[in-house]
């Protein structure tokens, strides 16, 4: 399969190049030339397959031409080491729990698959790979943990100082070894901008083999499509149309869902739910895409003012507004609405949602109000304990930290403070990786 750039359709590369480079020239994003539908036989037998088997079928369909089956199977198995159960929260409303991985958020799937694929490709060249990642919280921890001690790789995490939770910060600042954390005096958008600059900086790229682990890397998206199929496979009753609500920030997760749909998964509608960082909901109501500075909210992993996967999502629909609007509706919600949803679901169903999942839940409820006979799934993207303070305060209860998180909390934070000036970052970088 070949991959083209969203900026220049004639810029075409192999999977290896797309994965190693992460970003195409001039901020382009790589897209597969073709997304083939899975056969009917797969959909008929889906309910009898394991999560790993489903992952393998989907991965083979997407990249089976580029990676030998044995290697691909190893990557899929390494990625799917934990379940993604579909839990009924209310009648016809299900939570797809994507937080059972090592860092308790859905980004574990993408990070683990990417580390497998990069290790496979780096084995074919003898240069150390430096993975740059800007994070608003969860990406950094998932990538740091997915790559920790992976030979031939170094990870540099840039995060906005004081704008990620203690638990998130501990998960990428305490590992040491091949993981370096840069604490940026600025916002997430500053971090993302510095990473983007670094990739287009020719001088730097001649010195260092840089690659990206942000959701702009196509390898992050591929495994995220697995669990949409798996969610569908777990539904007992598929008589009614199925809709999926995706709490979104950079829109990688939603794009992966739309890829699953393009492969034939019968999802009737997707709901793109955001917090008040509402650039995409505004686009759906106005047809105008206007990036904004990001605003802090309690669902901070979605505090994104210029969603980096938006061009990819739109490209999937040939930049046709009507086509995209047929498949996706979009809403946004305030922190107050998010908290009341968390309280309501806790009191009526005894189910604890994290603030991100709660935004997804709200999107679903809003849509289902006018579409009664549909079955709804929302993605629960993080374990509530990852956002312990706000969840405890909102629900007025104690949330136990899972063992894995306890271990991180006892480690010592090691980070390097830096300004949000690109030049400062550029001069520091070579000293980090020797
Ligand atoms: C990253 C993240 C999101 C947003 O996902 P995108 O793919 O960036 O839209 C939502 N919830 C949590 C918990 C996250 O970590």
* Backbone torsions φ then ψ of 30, nearest 5 degrees: -80, 140
Predicted TM-score of the model (pTM)? 0.89
> Which residues have CB under 6 Å of ligand 1?
105, 107, 138, 215, 247-253, 301-302, 356, 381-382
d(CA 93, CA 416): 44
How far, in Å, from the CA of 184 to the mean position of ligand 1? 20
Dihedral of the CA atoms 414, 420, 423, 425 (nearest 10)?
Answer: 20
73 is a domain residue: no
The span from the CA of 395 to the CA of 339, in Å, is 8
What total of structural domains would you count in the chain? 1
Query: Are the beta carbons of 87 and 95 closer than 8 angstroms?
Result: yes
Of 167, 247, 328, which is best to mutate to test ligand 1, by the most ligand atoms within 8 angstroms of its C-beta?
247
Residue 26 falls within a domain, yes or no? Answer: no
- CA gap 333, 82 in Å, rounded: 31
Radius of gyration of the chain (CA): 20
Which amino acids are annotated catalytic?
107
Residue 77 domain-assigned (yes or no): no
What the block records as the tokens of 32 is 């597969």
Question: What would the pLDDT profile of 301-336 be if each residue is shown by its tens digit?
Answer: 899 999 999 999 999 999 999 999 999 999 999 999
Q: What are phi and psi of 187, to 5 degrees?
A: -100, 175
pLDDT tens by residue, 149-193: 888 889 999 999 999 988 889 999 999 999 999 999 999 999 999
Query: Which range in 19-23, 99-103, 145-149, 248-252 is most confidently predicted, on average pLDDT?
Result: 248-252
* 346 inside domain: yes
Lowest mean pLDDT among 262-276, 286-300, 399-413: 399-413
Q: Is 244 helix (H, G, I), strand (E, B) or coil?
A: strand
CA of 362 to the centre of ligand 1 (A): 16
CATH number of domain containing 94: 3.40.50.1100
Would the pLDDT of 111 be above 70?
yes
Residue 373 lies in a domain: yes
Residues 165 and 354 sit within 8 Å (Cβ to Cβ): no
Q: What pLDDT is recorded for position 409?
A: 83
Contact (Cβ atoms closer than 8 angstroms) between residue 19 and residue 217: yes
- Say how many Å lie between the CA of residue 3 and the centre of ligand 1: 24
Residue 320 forms part of a structural domain: yes
Cα 235-237-239 angle, rounded to 5 deg: 125
User: Token digits for 6?
Assistant: 């969203």
Burial environment of residue 193 by CB neighbours within 10 A (0 to 12, 13 to 18, 19 or more): middle
Q: By the 8 A CB rule, do 240 and 297 touch? A: no
Q: Is residue 225 part of a domain?
A: yes
CA distance 351 to 142: 25
Ordered DSSP codes for 11-44: -EE-HHHHHHH-EEGGGEEEEES--PPPPHHHHH
pLDDT in tens, 347-397: 999 999 999 999 999 999 999 999 999 999 999 999 999 899 999 999 999
Range of the domain at 316: 83-102+220-395
Q: Is residue 143 a part of any domain in this protein? A: no
Q: Please name which of 301, 193, 294 lies closest in space to residue 246, comparing C-alpha atoms.
A: 301
Distance separating the N- and C-terminal Cα atoms of the chain: 35
- Give me the pLDDT at residue 424, please: 97
């Amino acid at each position: 399969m070949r991959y083209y750039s969203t900026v220049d359709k004639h810029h075409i590369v192999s999977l290896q190049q797309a994965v190693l480079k992460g970003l195409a020239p001039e901020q382009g994003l790589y897209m597969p030339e073709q997304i083939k539908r899975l056969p009917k036989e797969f959909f008929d037998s889906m309910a009898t397959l394991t999560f790993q088997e489903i992952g393998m079928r989907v991965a083979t369909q997407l990249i089976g031409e580029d990676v030998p089956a044995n290697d691909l199977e190893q990557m899929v198995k390494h990625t799917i080491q934990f379940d993604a159960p579909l839990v009924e929260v209310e009648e016809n409303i299900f939570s797809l729990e994507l937080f059972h991985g090592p860092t308790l958020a859905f980004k574990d799937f993408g990070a683990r698959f990417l580390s497998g694929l990069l290790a496979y490709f780096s084995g074919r060249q003898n240069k150390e790979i430096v993975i740059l990642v800007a994070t608003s919280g969860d990406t950094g921890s998932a990538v740091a943990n997915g790559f920790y001690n992976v030979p031939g790789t170094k990870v540099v995490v840039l995060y906005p100082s004081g704008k990620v939770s203690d638990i998130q910060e501990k998960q990428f600042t305490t590992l040491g070894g091949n993981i370096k954390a840069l604490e940026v005096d600025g916002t997430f958008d500053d971090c993302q901008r510095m990473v983007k600059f670094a990739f287009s900086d020719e001088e730097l790229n001649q010195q260092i083999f840089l690659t990206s682990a942000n959701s702009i890397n196509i390898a992050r998206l591929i495994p995220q499509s697995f669990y949409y199929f798996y969610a569908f496979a777990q539904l007992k009753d598929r008589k009614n149309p199925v809709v999926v609500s995706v709490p979104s920030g950079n829109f990688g997760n939603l794009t992966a869902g739309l890829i699953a749909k393009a492969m034939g998964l019968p999802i009737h509608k997707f709901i793109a739910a955001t917090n008040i960082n509402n650039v995409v909901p505004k686009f759906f109501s106005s047809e105008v895409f206007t990036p904004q500075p990001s605003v802090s909210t309690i669902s901070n992993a979605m505090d994104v003012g210029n969603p980096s996967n938006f061009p990819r999502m739109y490209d999937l629909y040939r930049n046709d507004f009507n086509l995209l609007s047929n498949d996706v509706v979009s809403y946004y919600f305030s922190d107050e609405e998010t908290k009341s949803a968390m309280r309501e679901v806790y009191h009526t169903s005894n189910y604890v949602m994290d603030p991100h999942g709660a935004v997804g839940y709200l999107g679903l409820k809003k849509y289902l109000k006018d579409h009664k006979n549909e079955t709804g799934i929302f993605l629960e993207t993080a374990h509530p304990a990852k956002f312990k303070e706000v969840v405890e305060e909102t629900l007025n209860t104690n949330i136990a930290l899972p063992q894995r998180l306890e271990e991180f909390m006892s480690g010592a934070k090691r980070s390097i403070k830096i300004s949000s000036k690109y030049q400062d970052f550029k001069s520091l970088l070579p000293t980090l990786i020797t």
